[in-house]
Structure formats: structure tokens, C-alpha cells
Amino acid sequence: MTHSVLHLNKGAEKRLRAGHHWIYNNEVDNQKSPLKGFVPGSVVNAVDFRGKGVGSFMINPHALICGRMISRQQDRDLTSSLIKNRLKQALALRDMCFDAPCYRWVYGDSDGLSGLVVDRFHDILTVQVSTAGMERQLEVILDHLQRLVQPTGILLKNDGKMRTAEGLDTYVRVAAGQVPEQVELTENGVRFLAPLMTGQKTGWFYDHRPNRALAAQYARGKTVLDVFSYLGGWGLTCAMNGATSVTCADVSELALEGVMRNADLNGCADRVQTRLGDAFDTLDQLRLEKQRFDVVIVDPPAFIARRKDIEAGERAYQKLNDMAMKLVNPGGLLVSASCSMHLENDRLRDMIRASARSLDRHALILAEGGQGADHPVLPAVKETRYIKAIFAQISPGL
């Protein structure tokens, strides 16, 4: 099959040859290859300004990221065999890293399947497709998923914002088998029930797994506050590793009901309580009540969704760290987490410094964490690294 040719502007190939996987629409030579002439989801050969090939790409002329790499070789298609091989490679990596089949099986570009996310909950799979190219191969993907692990149910959670940007419709539906209302998973030895159909994103956030495990080590014999708790991933992991009491705070009543279900499931409900309300209001109310905790964990949603949100988002992160630090007992631990790709590690670290100085505290960073092995990072694609967590001991000022 002969592929159409996508011509790049001079210099656009440098980032790709250095290891990146994406082509932006302003990098295309629209005189030689008008973007509007390409079919969304089709495969093209991209060439530099001299006509030298840089690889095969899925294309969508309507998206900011108009090209997504399939291969660094020309004339490669997103074939059934390629999809199968990359699914198998991704599965082997996860099975090498985790004891239980509960993990992100496919993490988009990092696994050579740009626009595809697959989360595994024992024998249930959640699938998200966010690009036109992957949408065209959805039935092939589903077939291979079923052949590789024989799941009892597959849920398509195709309701993300990226689908709208790609010109795709949004929906949530069961694609195969049966998917119960609550699905069980195991993370760090702790059991959880997650509502895949109605829960946030794919129903669970595996990305902070190693950071939750580290927080639990510090929490033995301690009191813990878990803000933006969702279903209790941080707090209940602490409770099951020896925390004396855990308070989970969230704005969602359904999420907090899930916290207590999960606490009952693990037999630790006697050490877990919940606080319903806006996180900032809750932190302020706890301060007024003069409550303090040995470990305070703040893991907010992405305050910085786009580059234009950086200034306002950083103000929100700074305010959050200020308020959280006030609730840490002398010598206690602040765990400041973020899932905003646009928030740099250095900036989060500097926010801890700024909060400590303004509150006359002495902050010592004990550890910094990233995302788990089921969210592997492509070195040249910084967008694949978005999780960060800082573990800081907070003491009275010197």
C-alpha cells in the first residue's frame, strides 16, 4: 500500500529524531501537503524538508497534535500483528513488575500505541481511546485483548476531553462480557472496590502506587489526613500499614461512601473517618478546630490542564501547600502530590520552600516520587511524565 506523504517544515524533524513521537499542526508544510487533504485516522509517511523519511504516523488534520508515531520506518501500518505484538510486550512488562494483574496495561505512546489506555482490574478491563487512528482499529484492539487475557468484561470509557479535540463522539459502554457496578482491585496489598462506569477517569488511579506505598511506611503509628481522597487510595494504604487513625476528605459524597466500603473490605473501618466538602474549606475548618496530623497528604486533580492555566494553577498549588502545612504536627510529614504535567518538579519543590518560609517552618525533603512502572516514561517525551510527589518533614522554624 502506498502512503500519502506529509511534508514537515525545516527543523521540525529535529525533535522527532531526538526521540519525540508527535507532530504538531504548525510543523507541517501546508504548501506541499495541505493538512485538510488527509483523512482523520489514516497513516502517512512523514518526511523532512529535504524529503528524507522520519517515520510512519497516524494523522488527524483537525487536532493540534496532528501526527502520532507508529514507527520510525516508512510504510508501516497500524496492522493487527503490530497491535498484538505491542499489547504482548506491554503485558509482559507489567507482569514482570507486579504480582497481581491490577495495573495500567497500556500507557499510550510509551507502549507504542498512541491514544490507547488499558487498565486491568484482575479479569476486567477498562479501555480508553482518544485518537482517530486508534478508533479505526478499536475492534482489532478488543479482539486481541480478549485473546490475550480472556477477560470476563471490557468497558469502553470513551468520555475524555481528548476525543472531542479529535472529532470523536463520547460514550461509556460495555464492549464485551459483563462489568459489575463495583470492580475489585489490589494495590500495595490493599483491596479496593472501584466504580468503573461512574468513577473518575478509568475508575482508579494506579499512577501514584509507589508514592502511596512510601507514604504508608512513614505513617506507621501516626495520624493521617488524606485530602482529595477519592476512594481512599492513600489513606487506606496507610491504615493497612499501621496508621493509628486516618481522615479522608473529599468533595464527593459518593467517593467517601466508597472510602468506607473499602475500609470495611479491609477490616480497618474503626480507624477511618471521612470529611465531606471542598478541600480548601475543609483544610480551613480543620485549622479553626485546631486539629493537627502527623501525616498530611494532598493529591489534588490537575490544577494545570493546559499551558495557559500555569499561573492560576501554581497559585492554587501554593495555597494548598500553605494550608496543608499548617496542619502538620511538629516533626510530621507533608506529602504534596501532583498529576499536572505542566507543573515542573522544581516548581513544586519551591512551593514547599516558600510555604515553609512564610509559616516559619523548617522543611526537609526526605524523598521525591514519580509514577509507577505501569506508566513508563519516554525520555524524549516529557508529556509521558506527569506524576510527582514530595515527602517533606515539617518542623518549627530554626
Q: What is the DSSP string of 318-367?
A: HHHHHHHHTTEEEEEEEEEEE--TTS-HHHHHHHHHHHHHHTTEEEEEEE
Question: b/e for 303-337, b at 16 or more Cβ within 10 A?
Answer: bbeeeeebeebbeebbebbbbbbbbbeeebbbbbb
230 torsion bin: left (phi>0), alpha (psi -120 to 50), beta (else): left
For residue 376, give the nearest of 115, 183, 149, 105 by alpha carbon.
105
- For 27, phi then psi, to 5°, come to -100, 0
Beta strands in the chain (DSSP E): 4-7, 22-24, 43-47, 53-59, 65-71, 102-107, 116-121, 124-129, 153-158, 171-177, 183-187, 190-194, 223-227, 245-250, 272-276, 293-298, 328-338, 361-369, 388-396
CA distance linking residue 337 with residue 391, whole number of Å: 9
Amino acid letter at 98? Answer: F
Residues serving a catalytic function are 339
Q: Per the structure block, which three cell numbers stand in for 89?
A: 510486550
Pairwise CA distance, residues 86 & 60, whole Å:
22
Q: Hey, how many other C-beta atoms are within 10 angstroms of the C-beta on 293?
A: 23
